[in-house]
Amino acid sequence: MLVTVKRQKDPQSEPYLQSFFVEASPQMTVSALLDKLNYTDDLYDVKGQAAPRIRWECSCLQKLCGACAMRINGLPRLACATFLRDLDPRELLLEPLSKFPVVADLIVDRSIIEKNLLRARAYQGSYRPIDATDYPRLYSMAKCLKCGLCLEICPNYSKGEDFFGALFANEMYLLSHQSQDRRKELKKAYDRNFGAGCSKALSCVSICPMKLDTLSSMARMNRFSPEK
Ligand code: FES
């Protein structure tokens, strides 16, 4: 398989494309293929030139941490959960997520996600009793990996602005069982940092690796009354 990687030495360097031939099988994931490339004694590109190891992030390799998010053949996906059998068998293009600053090769700085949640004070305050029928839904929302795929695919999200994207809507729903003052504050944050900027393209729903029901979070938050 011909694998092309968008490379960048450090945040200040110019990006460039570099291609490699790899012996791959359809059962491999993209992360396994990257490991195979990096574990060869010496890495050479298709022109026979020595190449530095490809830098990318991973932790769990089980679709649990979100670290391996990248663009795979033009679509944001998790490398450890993307199998070659589901992709074009002839060639593969790997690029870093485009909406976050590149650190090196396929590694990006996604700290803006946490900064935005802190900006909106999206963390637990004092809880009031939760209706037990809501547990399954809250559990499902808590599975968000904060991987950034929903931000990458969203036509309305661009870094540094006041629209925080789908993961924020889910987080707001997750936090909606709180004291009345906090509920008012969360509803304002939802309206300001999500409701006002969402154009309902809903690309976030189809790309989410955890299949979070963002549409339902949006509907519930749109009719959410802090007084009740
Ligand atoms: S390495 Fe954790 S989700 Fe891919």
Q: Does any domain span residue 227?
A: no
Task: Looking at the structure, tell me whether residues 137 and 213 fall in a common domain.
Answer: yes
pLDDT at 147: 97
On whether residue 17 sits in a domain, the answer given is yes
- Residue identified by tokens 């802090």 is 226
179 and 84, same domain (yes or no) = no
Ligand 1 atom closest to residue 58's alpha carbon, by position in its atom list: 1
pLDDT tens, position by position, 175-211 = 888 877 888 888 999 999 999 999 999 999 999 999 9
Residue, of 130 and 222, whose pLDDT is higher: 222
Q: What is the whole-number distance in angstroms between the Cα of residue 79 and the centre of ligand 1?
A: 7
Q: Which domain holds residue 130?
A: 111-222
Give CA–CA dist 103/86, Å, rounded.
28
Of 74-83, 89-98, 159-168, the range with the lowest mean pLDDT is: 159-168
pLDDT at 95 over 90: yes
Looking at the structure of the chain, the number of domains it has is 2
CATH number assigned to the domain comprising residue 102: 3.10.20.30
5 pLDDT exceeds 90?
yes
Co-location of 192 and 131 in the same domain: yes
- Which has more pLDDT, 34 or 182? 34
Ligand 1 mean position to 198 CA, how many Å? Answer: 28
Please tell me which residue, 67 or 180, carries the higher pLDDT value.
Answer: 67
Protein residues with CB under 6 Å of any ligand 1 atom: 58-61, 63-68, 78, 80
- Predicted local distance difference test score (pLDDT) of residue 228: 67
Q: Which of 29, 33, 34, 65 to mutate to test the pocket of ligand 1 (most atoms within 8 A of CB)?
A: 65
How far apart are the CA of 212 and the centre of ligand 1, in A? 17
Q: Quick one: what percent of the chain has pLDDT higher than 90? A: 75
Question: Does 117 share its domain with 189?
Answer: yes
Return the closest-CA partner of residue 168 out of 112, 100, 91: 112
Axis crossing angle, helix 166-174 with helix 180-190, rounded to the nearest 10: 170
Task: Write the single-letter amino acid at 196.
Answer: A
Does pLDDT of 76 surpass 90? yes
Pocket test for ligand 1, best of 35, 56, 57, 58 (most atoms within 8 A of CB): 58
Ligand 1 midpoint to CA 66 (Å): 5
Pairwise CA distance, residues 90 & 173, whole Å: 42
Q: What is the average per-residue pLDDT within 29-58?
A: 96
Clarify whether residues 68 and 12 are in a common domain: yes
Note whether 101 and 123 are same-domain residues. Answer: no
Q: Which of 63, 84, 108 is the last residue of a domain?
A: 108
- How distant is the alpha carbon of residue 205 from its chain centre? 12
Asked if the structure places residue 13 within a domain, the reply is yes
28 Cα: distance to centroid of ligand 1 (angstroms): 15
- pLDDT tens-digit profile of 106-162? 999 999 999 999 998 888 776 667 778 888 888 888 999 999 999 999 999 997 789
Mean pLDDT of the chain: 92
> Could you give the CA distance from residue 94 to residue 192 in angstroms, rounded to a whole number?
34
Residue 211 identity: K
226 pLDDT above the threshold of 80? no
- With a CB cutoff of 8 Å and minimum separation 6, the contacts of 17 are 4, 5, 6, 7
Instruction: Tell me the two tokens of residue 193.
Output: 């940092």
Asked whether residue 228 is assigned to any structural domain, the reply reads no
Q: Are residues 204 and 137 in the same domain?
A: yes
CATH label of the domain that carries residue 211: 1.10.1060.10
CA 109 – ligand 1 centroid, Å: 16
CB distance 144 to 171 below 8 Å: yes
Q: Are 116 and 162 in contact (CB under 8 A)?
A: no
Question: Which residue bears the tokens 């830098």?
Answer: 55
